[in-house]
Amino acid sequence: FLIPNKIAAGGVSGLATVLYYLWGWPVGMVLFLINTPLFLAGLGFYGPRFGIKTFFGSTFLALAVEYWGRMVHPLTLDPLLASLCGGALTGIGVGLAFRYRGTTGGTDLAAKLLNHFTALTMGQALLVFDGLVIALAGMVFKSAELMLYALIALVAAGKMIDGVLEGFNYSKGAFIISDQSERIAQRILEEMNRGVTGLSGRGIYSGKCREVLLCIVGRAEETRLKRLVKEEDPKAFVIITNVHEVLGEGFKE
């Protein structure tokens, strides 16, 4: 999806794509050459177990890109479809590697090493590497549109990585602060058949102690919960947040 459409969505694969169109260097070869010193550095800092996983992951990626690309024709030449599908597939692959404590080499390993030596977080380090690659691609291809498509692919990959690592079937967590907490809790128990936990809270400005309700519901129940709270207390303060994993009765066992 990505290479035939000149979409360099960050990372070593994005850099390899730029070099392929710039000088004709095979993408698989560039991936292997760049990942080899990173693999050796990772082997020294994180031990043989991590190094072996990185070696197999990066080598398989290089071979797959090189030979699979020759065997399969591009499925689409629409850059938007290519960026979405290519980014999603990249995210699934990287997410699976991370889930089983491996890596495909590339900038995720470089970011890990940079994080080890500097104050940059993994996210900041990845942003630096990917931003430089996308900027280089924009200059080489002389196209702002291809830079934007690369960003779309990067976002799609990030979303899929999060989905693989944290799960797609997330729930909703609600913190409810209200003068009618007893009534709200009772209705949640009876009408929604969901558990409610009462937490002790204190308003810093008012200095008053108040009960804070904590409730976990499914995504489809979020609207119903907010409507229920509004019916009991239109002035209630409600915080809704995504909860990526819930274990226990009524959720995942």
Structural domain ending residue among the three candidates 166, 191, 224: 166
d(CA 201, CA 103): 43
**Same domain, yes or no: 204 and 220:** yes
Of 83 and 102, more confident: 83
Q: What is the pLDDT of residues 193-252, one digit of tens each?
A: 888 989 988 888 888 888 899 998 888 888 899 999 999 999 889 999 888 766 666 555
pLDDT at position 69, please?
67
Region 72-92 average pLDDT? 83
Instruction: State what percent of residues in the chain have pLDDT above 70.
Output: 83
Both 76 and 187 in a single domain?
Answer: no
Give the pair of three-digit tokens for residue 211: 């009960």
* 144 is a domain residue: yes
Are both 193 and 232 inside the same structural domain?
yes
Would you state the pLDDT for residue 115? 67
Same domain, 14 and 126: yes
Query: Does residue 137 sit in the same domain as residue 12?
Result: yes
Q: Is residue 27 part of a domain?
A: yes
Contact between residue 192 and residue 231 where contact means Cβ atoms under 8 Å apart: no
pLDDT of 252: 55
Residue 84 CA to residue 61 CA, distance in Å, equals 20
pLDDT for position 213: 92
> What are the residues facing 158 on neighbouring strands?
none
Closest CA to 11 of 128, 163, 143: 128
Q: Quick one: 145 and 182 in the same domain? A: no
Q: What is the domain range of residue 228?
A: 171-243
Residue 250 is predicted with a pLDDT of 59
pLDDT confidence tier of residue 76, bands split at 50, 70 and 90: confident
Is residue 151 one of the residues assigned to a domain? yes
In a domain, 209, yes or no: yes
If asked whether residues 145 and 21 sit together in one domain, one would say yes
Whether residue 34 is found in the same domain as residue 123:
yes
**Does 158 fall in a domain?**
yes
Instruction: Clarify whether residues 154 and 181 are in a common domain.
Output: no
249 in a structural domain? no
Is there a single domain that holds both residue 59 and residue 152? yes
Are 43 and 87 contained in the same domain? yes
What's this model's pTM, rounded to 2 decimal places? 0.66
Domain boundary among 166, 189, 218: 166
Indicate the number of domains in the chain: 2
Instruction: Give the per-residue pLDDT at 155.
Output: 84
Asked if residue 69 belongs to a domain, the reply is: yes
Given a cut of 70, whether residue 124 has pLDDT beyond it is no
Residue 116 predicted with pLDDT over 80: no
Can you say whether residue 115 is alpha, beta or left, with left for phi > 0 and alpha for psi between -120 and 50 degrees? alpha
**Structure confidence at residue 183 (pLDDT):** 92
The pLDDT tens digits for 45-59 are 667 777 777 777 777
The number of beta carbons lying within 10 Å of the beta carbon of residue 246 is 17
pLDDT of residue 86 exceeding 60, the answer is: yes
Residue finishing a domain among 109, 132, 166 = 166
Length of the chain: 253
Q: In what order do the strands lie in the sheet with 171-177?
A: 196-202, 209-217, 171-177, 237-243
Average pLDDT value for residue range 170-190: 89
Inter-helix orientation angle 11-23/106-117, to 10°: 120
CA torsion sign for 30, 35, 38, 44 is negative
